Amino acid sequence: MADRPVAEVDITPALAARLVAEQHPDLAHLPVRLVTSGWDNAVLRLGPDLALRLPRRQQAAQLVLNEQRWLPVLAPALAPETDGDGVGVPVPVRVGAPSGGYPWSWSVVPWFAGRSAVTVPARERASLAEPLAEVLARLHVPAPAEAPVNPVRGGALDSRTEAVRGRLASGLIARTDRLGQLWDELVRMPRWPGPPLWAHGDVHPGNLVVRDDGGLRALVDFGDITCGDPATDLATAWLTFDPAGRERFRSRLDALHAYDDHVWARARGWALCMGTALAAHSDDSPAYAELGAHTLEQVLEG
């Protein structure tokens, strides 16, 4: 049984092309092709250099608005290089409004050539460690009072106990005794004591674009952007990397940001939380089911 929520609007190339023609007629000559339809958004390629990001359900509509509001503010610090070698972020270049039966705002964003890191074996992702650490170090600064708050990312780790326990009891996950014991240990870590920091909220291989030479081309999908505990983002140490890559990632981040051991322990807890979600809810995506298994293996390894 597929776990992806049912789309509340059927987003087709024809629908997307109509919205572009109505609201951005100078782009109407560009071909439109569906690339992927995830839990929250459909992504369609618009010509060679652009993409369209359209919410497929009401719950995702605010996420696109958050991207439109905050990515232009954050991007100059996140992607300061303009020579083509820096790590890109998908700052909207145009915005779209509800129209003709399509009920939500939508975005035109850059298209980043490359492949999703979820298709790259974990042992080959270590080259992403330093550039990803540098992007996150630039992102993890105090957020303003009006920054968005995500109900399931960036908050207290123990707020996810019920969800994690439910997944461990589902019968869909192996080694539940060890994972449960580890969860009990990690949720006892002190909470984040500092000011709320900006956080991407969903840093995993599926949101990393890899260049042909193995470098990090872009960090995408800022829909879960939030503020709070940076440990949510640091969970990618277990989602994305094997032990060697994780050591490189942590070493570079510690040199830039000097997180204490409690932050990294909570990050491991967040990785356990996300890994159980992937393992229990990826029936319709072998790549993400494999990512869930990888994450839980890495979490247990340490």
Claim to verify: residue 99 and residue 120 sit in the same structural domain = no
Q: Which of 71, 96, 111 is the last residue of a domain?
A: 111
Claim to verify: residue 292 and residue 214 sit in the same structural domain = yes
Per residue in 263-286, pLDDT (tens digit) is 999 999 999 999 999 999 887 789
Claim to verify: residue 181 and residue 62 sit in the same structural domain = no
Q: Per-residue pLDDT averaged across 1-29, rounded?
A: 87
Confidence (pLDDT) at 79: 78
Q: Is the pLDDT of residue 134 over 50?
A: yes
C-alpha distances (whole Å) from 47 to each of 20, 83, 212 are: 12, 22, 20
The closest alpha carbon to 183, from 69, 263, 280, 270, belongs to 270
The residue type of 171 is G
Claim to verify: residue 138 and residue 176 sit in the same structural domain = yes
The closest alpha carbon to 84, from 108, 109, 114, 107, belongs to 114
How much is the mean pLDDT over the chain? 94
Claim to verify: residue 231 and residue 284 sit in the same structural domain = yes
Per residue in 75-112, pLDDT (tens digit) is 999 976 544 567 999 999 999 999 988 999 999 999 99
Per residue in 170-223, pLDDT (tens digit) is 999 999 999 999 999 999 999 999 899 999 999 999 999 999 999 999 999 999
Task: Say if 227 falls within a structural domain.
Answer: yes
Claim to verify: residue 126 and residue 107 sit in the same structural domain = no
Number of domains in the chain: 2
Query: φ, ψ for residue 37 (rounded to 5)?
Result: -135, 105
Claim to verify: residue 193 and residue 297 sit in the same structural domain = yes
Claim to verify: residue 123 and residue 204 sit in the same structural domain = yes
What is the reported pTM?
A: 0.94
Interatomic CA distance for residues 31 and 48, integer angstroms: 9
Confidence (pLDDT) at 89: 95
Claim to verify: residue 231 and residue 101 sit in the same structural domain = no
Residue 194's contacts (CB-CB under 8 Å, 6 or more residues apart) are none
Q: Is the pLDDT of residue 1 over 50?
A: no
Give the domain range for residue 43: 13-111
Interatomic CA distance for residues 211 and 222, integer angstroms: 20
Q: Categorize the per-residue pLDDT at 258 as very low, low, confident or very high, splitting at 50, 70 and 90.
A: confident
Per residue in 31-68, pLDDT (tens digit) is 999 998 877 899 999 999 999 999 999 988 999 999 99
Q: Categorize the per-residue pLDDT at 300 as very low, low, confident or very high, splitting at 50, 70 and 90.
A: very high
